[in-house]
């Protein structure tokens, strides 16, 4: 039997059903007519759609950078809510519970968005639930009796943010080609970091640094942080709109032909799909497992980085934000730059190099923690140099392996495998803090998780790079 010629590497991966116009085509698959590929390749709308897609990452910095890393979790683990060490551990347990919920539900939500052809709808629903939860953080006053509310809002926000991310990541193959997927993924992550820089500058100079900020906001009753949550909610809500308006819904015929099933029947279908993946694409399964571990370590770097800066190295709330701005500059530049290497060398070398760099940088912070803020500035920025490329390349590694029409489901598995072990970094952090009796021991727990993920990744085979 003669196989159809392999499409050009600059042809998008999934071509839409025939009733859509070429301009609505987001991707092409093996065997499409050359004139269709050419039409899609020349469609002027693609760059605009890439920008619109990347703006969701830009807006998501409101949750990633402001809520879970540098502002709200630092506020929530301050002495106003309880003794140092105790509140950090409680944050870790709350995030571990959130991870369990994501592990159980994420692949089902992804699978159902594939078969319903409503990927964009569910991206919108989950995004704006996160916006609402962020807005509700305004009501968390700096007192121990508000700690439970704050922990609930952070944990619930993580759950729905991950659900939104499943659908957002699945759209990567709609706005990229095999030749450009690394650049596009890196652009998205880079936009997230740049968005974080801009938003952190706004909230720092507008509300947190001045004694009296914009609109007369002061630090009394944590008002500066609480108003920052309102600004963050508006920021995410606005910048999530372009992808919903500019990128067309993509209904893969193969996915829709599978038909919808009930909620519990979805788990039976999921089990069959995983068994088929194991039989036909075993490296995909191994990568899901390996990446689950090291991505949880990466999440730990972000989640506990600001907490450690404040509790171990004596950073004030304002100094944490200044560090966050510098960290986002470093991470954004490295992520966008390394996207080109991803397309040229493949995702695996990028991930391995980044994980080795993270392990070394984390150990330096732990061993030299008595060296003061200079140590955290130096080794902490080194951590940021590697985190972004590891995240972006992990997304492209998987996207190159996914069978067309199952992006939502497999990226749901990506979220699930990550969250199935998402107790690792928070638990390791909390356990090492409890055993060591000081917050800086938590660094060892995060490093251990990253190192384990690196070991699991080494034997996994990557898809060939299309040039």
pLDDT for 152-186, tens place per residue? 999 999 989 988 888 888 787 778 776 777 788 88
Identify whether the C-beta of residue 199 lies closer than 8 Å to the C-beta of residue 232: yes
User: Is 281 in the same domain as 212?
Assistant: no
DSSP 120: H
Rounded to whole angstroms, the Cα distance separating 313 from 213 reads 26
User: Is 330 in the same domain as 413?
Assistant: yes
| Region at 464 (left for phi over 0; alpha for psi -120 to 50; beta for the rest) | beta
Residue 256 burial (CB count, 10 A):
15
Rounded to whole angstroms, the Cα distance separating 303 from 321 reads 14
C-alpha 255, offset from chain centre: 25
Q: Indicate whether 3 belongs to any domain.
A: no
User: Is 121 in the same domain as 222?
Assistant: yes
- Averaged pLDDT of the chain: 78
Q: What is the pLDDT of residue 436?
A: 81
What the block records as the tokens of 294 is 């090291």
What the block records as the tokens of 342 is 């991803």
User: Is 308 in the same domain as 445?
Assistant: yes
Q: What is the pLDDT of residue 61?
A: 86
- List CB contacts of 9: < 8 A, sequence separation 6 or more: 177, 178, 179, 466, 467
Domain count, the chain: 2
Range of the domain at 322: 271-466
Rounded to whole angstroms, the Cα distance separating 100 from 408 reads 19
Rounded to whole angstroms, the Cα distance separating 426 from 327 reads 22
pLDDT band at 295; cut points 50, 70, 90: confident
User: Is 304 in the same domain as 361?
Assistant: yes
Q: Considering only residues 463 and 242, tell me which one the structure prediction assigns the higher pLDDT.
A: 242
Identify whether the C-beta of residue 59 lies closer than 8 Å to the C-beta of residue 239: yes
DSSP E strand stretches across 135-287: none
Q: Looking at the predicted structure, is the pLDDT value of residue 105 above 80?
A: no
- List CB contacts of 328: < 8 A, sequence separation 6 or more: 61, 65, 193, 194, 196, 197, 200, 384
Q: Looking at the predicted structure, is the pLDDT value of residue 32 above 60?
A: no
Last residue within a domain, chosen from 214, 248, 282: 248
Rounded to whole angstroms, the Cα distance separating 259 from 22 reads 26
Identify whether the C-beta of residue 140 lies closer than 8 Å to the C-beta of residue 156: no
What the block records as the tokens of 389 is 């490329």
Q: Looking at the predicted structure, is the pLDDT value of residue 367 above 50?
A: yes
Rounded to whole angstroms, the Cα distance separating 367 from 350 reads 26
Q: What is the pLDDT of residue 255?
A: 47
User: Is 124 in the same domain as 210?
Assistant: yes
Q: Indicate whether 19 belongs to any domain.
A: no
Q: Is 26 helix (H, G, I), strand (E, B) or coil?
A: coil
User: Is 348 in the same domain as 404?
Assistant: yes
What the block records as the tokens of 76 is 């929530």
Q: Indicate whether 368 belongs to any domain.
A: yes
Among candidates 181, 183, 199, which has minimal Cα distance to 236?
Answer: 199
DSSP 16: P
Q: Indicate whether 24 belongs to any domain.
A: no
Q: Considering only residues 178 and 256, tell me which one the structure prediction assigns the higher pLDDT.
A: 178
Q: Indicate whether 257 belongs to any domain.
A: no
pLDDT band at 46; cut points 50, 70, 90: low
Q: Is 223 helix (H, G, I), strand (E, B) or coil?
A: helix
What the block records as the tokens of 85 is 């060490």
Which helix (H) or strand (E) is 272 found in, with range?
A: helix 263-280
User: Is 240 in the same domain as 354?
Assistant: no
Q: What is the pLDDT of residue 185?
A: 82
User: Is 442 in the same domain as 323?
Assistant: yes
Identify whether the C-beta of residue 176 lies closer than 8 Å to the C-beta of residue 26: no
Q: Indicate whether 179 belongs to any domain.
A: yes
Q: Indicate whether 261 belongs to any domain.
A: no
Rounded to whole angstroms, the Cα distance separating 376 from 242 reads 37
- List CB contacts of 427: < 8 A, sequence separation 6 or more: 92, 96, 445
Rounded to whole angstroms, the Cα distance separating 458 from 423 reads 23
- Cα 132-418-443 angle, rounded to 5 deg: 90
User: Is 180 in the same domain as 234?
Assistant: yes
- Cα 130-131-133 angle, rounded to 5 deg: 65
User: Is 327 in the same domain as 436?
Assistant: yes
Buried b / exposed e along 131-143 (16+ C-beta atoms within 10 A): bebbbbbbebebe
Q: Indicate whether 433 belongs to any domain.
A: yes
Q: What is the pLDDT of residue 406?
A: 65
Instruction: Output the domain CATH number for residue 327.
Output: 1.20.1250.20
User: Is 165 in the same domain as 122?
Assistant: yes
Q: What is the pLDDT of residue 269?
A: 65
Residue with tokens 């980085």, as numbered in its chain: 305
Which helix (H) or strand (E) is 305 found in, with range?
A: helix 282-311
pLDDT in tens, 405-435: 666 667 767 766 766 676 788 788 888 888 8
Q: Considering only residues 16 and 38, tell me which one the structure prediction assigns the higher pLDDT.
A: 38
Q: Looking at the predicted structure, is the pLDDT value of residue 126 above 80?
A: yes
Q: Looking at the predicted structure, is the pLDDT value of residue 146 above 90?
A: yes
Among candidates 194, 388, 376, which has minimal Cα distance to 302?
Answer: 388
Residue with tokens 């495998």, as numbered in its chain: 417
């Amino acid at each position: 039997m003669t196989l159809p010629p392999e499409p050009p590497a600059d042809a998008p991966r999934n071509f839409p059903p025939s009733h859509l116009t070429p301009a609505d085509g987001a991707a092409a698959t093996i065997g499409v007519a050359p004139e269709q590929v050419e039409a899609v390749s020349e469609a002027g709308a693609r760059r605009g759609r890439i920008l619109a897609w990347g703006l969701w990452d830009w807006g998501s910095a409101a949750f990633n950078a402001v809520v879970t890393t540098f502002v709200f979790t630092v506020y929530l683990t301050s002495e106003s809510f309880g003794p140092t060490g105790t509140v950090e551990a409680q944050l870790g347990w709350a995030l571990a519970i959130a991870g369990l919920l994501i592990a159980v539900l994420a692949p089902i939500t992804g699978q159902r968005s594939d078969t319903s052809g409503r990927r964009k709808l569910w991206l919108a629903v989950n995004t704006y639930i996160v916006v609402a939860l962020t807005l509700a953080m305004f009501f968390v006053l700096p007192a121990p009796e508000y700690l439970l509310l704050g922990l609930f809002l952070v944990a619930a926000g993580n759950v729905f943010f991950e659900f939104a991310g499943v659908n957002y990541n699945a759209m990567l193959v709609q706005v990229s080609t095999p030749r450009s997927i690394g650049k596009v993924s890196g652009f998205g992550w880079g936009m997230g970091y740049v968005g974080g820089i801009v938003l952190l500058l706004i909230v720092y100079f507008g509300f947190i640094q001045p004694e009296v900020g914009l609109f007369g906001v002061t630090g009394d009753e944590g008002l500066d942080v609480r108003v920052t949550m309102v600004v963050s909610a508006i920021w995410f809500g606005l910048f999530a709109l372009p992808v919903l308006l500019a990128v067309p819904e993509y209904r893969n015929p193969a996915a829709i032909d599978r038909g919808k099933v009930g909620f519990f029947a979805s788990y039976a279908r999921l089990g069959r799909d995983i068994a088929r993946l194991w039989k036909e694409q075993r490296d995909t399964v191994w990568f899901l497992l390996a990446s689950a571990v090291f991505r949880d370590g990466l999440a730990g770097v972000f989640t506990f980085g600001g907490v450690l800066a404040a509790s171990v190295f004596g950073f004030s709330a304002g100094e944490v934000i200044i560090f966050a701005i510098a960290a986002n500059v470093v991470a954004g530049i490295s992520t966008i730059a390394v996207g080109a290497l991803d397309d040229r060398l493949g995702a695996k070398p990028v991930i391995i190099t980044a994980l080795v760099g993270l392990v070394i940088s984390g150990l330096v912070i732990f061993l030299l923690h008595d060296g003061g803020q200079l140590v955290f500035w130096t080794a902490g920025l080194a951590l940021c140099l590697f985190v972004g490329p590891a995240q972006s390349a992990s997304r492209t590694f998987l996207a190159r392996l996914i069978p067309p029409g199952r992006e939502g489901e497999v990226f749901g598995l990506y979220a699930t495998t990550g969250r199935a072990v998402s107790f690792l970094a928070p638990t390791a952090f909390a356990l090492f803090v409890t055993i060591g009796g000081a917050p800086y021991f938590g660094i060892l727990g995060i490093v251990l998780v990253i190192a384990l993920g690196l070991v699991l990744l080494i034997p996994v085979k990557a898809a060939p790079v299309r040039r």
